[in-house]
């Protein structure tokens, strides 16, 4: 007996989470490796000499650049996630509106057709009802 495997439903959020986990593992391993390398080669001593204002400014600008990159990445992930949510909400709203409009059109069409059919057969129905009454009355008498 052959088992049928249902097709995998593609989801952008699942792929982002999967790649995000992989990226965080790689970054953590590389940072631990770099830290272990620096400790092994230089030890835990502090650098000799004093810091100048140029050093401080370059470190602060680098920190600001890194923070901006992290914020930009976070905003990009939120934009993709928000777009997916908006697309799904729009599809749900369109489905609801389409069903309401379809019901309204079906109801109006059915009432129009019923009134046309009723108008064209009203004389036939009236005469047949009268004939039926006379037939029933005749059978009751007889």
The HSE-up count of residue 99 (CA atoms within 13 Å, CB side) is: 5
Q: What is the pLDDT of residue 7?
A: 66
Q: What is the pLDDT of residue 75?
A: 87
Q: Which residue matches tokens 């990226």?
A: 23
Angstrom distance (rounded) from CA 108 to CA 115: 11
Angstrom distance (rounded) from CA 41 to CA 48: 16
Give mean pLDDT, residues 28-38.
Answer: 86
Q: 64-78 b/e with 16+ CB inside 10 Å = b?
A: eeeeeeeeeeeeeee
Q: What is the pTM of this model?
A: 0.36
Question: Is there a contact between 81 and 13 (Cβ–Cβ < 8 Å)?
Answer: yes
Q: What is the pLDDT of residue 121?
A: 61
Angstrom distance (rounded) from CA 95 to CA 44: 64
Q: Which residue matches tokens 């790649």?
A: 19
- In tens, the pLDDT along 74-121 reads 888 888 888 888 888 888 889 999 999 999 888 888 888 888 877 666
């Amino acid at each position: 007996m052959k088992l049928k495997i249902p097709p995998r439903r593609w989801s952008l959020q699942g792929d982002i989470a999967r790649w995000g986990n992989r990226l965080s593992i790689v970054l953590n391993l590389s940072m631990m490796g770099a830290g272990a390398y620096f400790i092994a080669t230089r030890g835990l001593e502090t650098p000799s000499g004093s810091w100048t204002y140029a050093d401080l400014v370059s470190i602060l600008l680098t920190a600001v650049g890194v923070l901006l990159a992290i914020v930009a990445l976070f905003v990009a992930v939120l934009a993709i996630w928000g777009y997916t949510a908006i697309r799904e909400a729009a599809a749900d709203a369109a489905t609801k509106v389409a069903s309401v409009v379809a019901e309204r059109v079906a109801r109006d069409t059915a009432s129009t057709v019923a009134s046309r059919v009723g108008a064209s057969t009203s004389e036939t129905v009236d005469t047949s009802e009268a004939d039926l009454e006379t037939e029933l009355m005749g059978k009751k008498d007889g």
